[in-house]
Structure 1
Amino acid sequence: MLQFGQPDPGLDYAARPTAFGLVFHDGKLACVRVDRGEGSYFDLPGGALDGDETEEQALTREFVEETGMTVRPGRRIAEAAQYFRRSDGTPVNNIAGFWVAERLSLDPAARVEADHELVWLEPHTALNELRHDAHAWAVAVWLRRGR
């Protein structure tokens, strides 16, 4: 598996199973803008698996929580890990499955994460704007494999 990011010496990075999705609609890719004031950033929708969730279950739940979008996971196109520090400083290593998903419906009122906003980016813009190299790499894999 590819590993992205550099761990800070002396920190213990907990392995964190995650799932992220690529939804393509009207020529654009669904992303989330996470509002952190001056430190805001873009991610693919998705996140950590809760309890005994499968990647598909976590992806479906996270899309609703972050964007209000209901999706159907399709195929798993890539896996990669990313060392990083969460907003609270906790060091983690996201072990991510990346999925192509189908947009079923959108209900902005269903979104529960107020600091996340659904944005639609051109795929090549997403390559440059996504915070994590693993996310950008997954977009590149998706583009090269013909979506």
Structure 2
Amino acid sequence: MLAFGTPVEGLVYRDRRAAFGVAENGQGKIALAQVIKPGKAPYFDLPGGAVDGDETEREAVAREFGEETGLVVEAGSLIETVSQHFLKSDGEPVRNFGGIYVVKVTGETPGLKVEDDHALVWLDPRDAVVALRHDAHAWAVAAWMRRGSAPL
């Protein structure tokens, strides 16, 4: 597992299983979730998030994509398993750990989108590498590009 982020000394980080995806739209752009929290600067993440209960990582990626973007996706090949220390927007110290997958968009169902503070944005992957909040996400997009946008 590749580790990203430097823990702040003195903080106790909650471990959280999470999974994320890289989805291309067929025009050379990838899906990002732009997150806007009141009183905070907007930031970009790969769509994805916590793995709930007995879900597999691939199931979590599909569910989270729908909740954050309204896109229906299928998770395919694993790009890498990573961990990322970070402070959530509410200040909670968290260490996400899990896979980042290549995903295929199979449709769009706007009713799936329930996270009002998330918006779907399509960016050139080179711009995404710079814009993404987490180093683990930026690394995965760069690895995906270097591998020739690995198929499912």
**Which TM-score bucket, shorter chain as reference?**
over 0.9
The aligned residue for residue 36 of structure 1 is 37
Specify the SS of the correspondent of 2:89.
Answer: coil
Unaligned runs of 5+ in 2: none
Of 138, 141, 148, 1:139 maps to 141
Instruction: Provide TM-score, normalisation by structure 1.
Output: 0.96
Amino acid at match of 2:32: C
Q: 2:111 & 2:43 partners in 1: Cα distance?
A: 22
The aligned residue for residue 10 of structure 1 is 10
Q: 2:44 & 2:98 partners in 1: Cα distance?
A: 16
User: What is the root-mean-square deviation of aligned Cα atoms in Å?
Assistant: 1.0
Q: 2:44 & 2:14 partners in 1: Cα distance?
A: 23
The aligned residue for residue 98 of structure 1 is 100
Unaligned runs of 5+ in 1: none
The total of aligned residue pairs comes to 147
The aligned residue for residue 127 of structure 1 is 129
- Cα drift, residue 109 of structure 1: 3.2
- Cα drift, residue 82 of structure 1: 0.6
Counterparts of residues 101-120 of structure 1 (less than 5 Å): 101-120=103-122
Q: Percent identity?
A: 52
Q: 1:96 & 1:134 partners in 2: Cα distance?
A: 11
Write out the 4+ residue segments of structure 1 that deviate beyond 2 Å after TM superposition: 107-110
Amino acid at match of 1:145: R
Q: 2:42 & 2:35 partners in 1: Cα distance?
A: 6
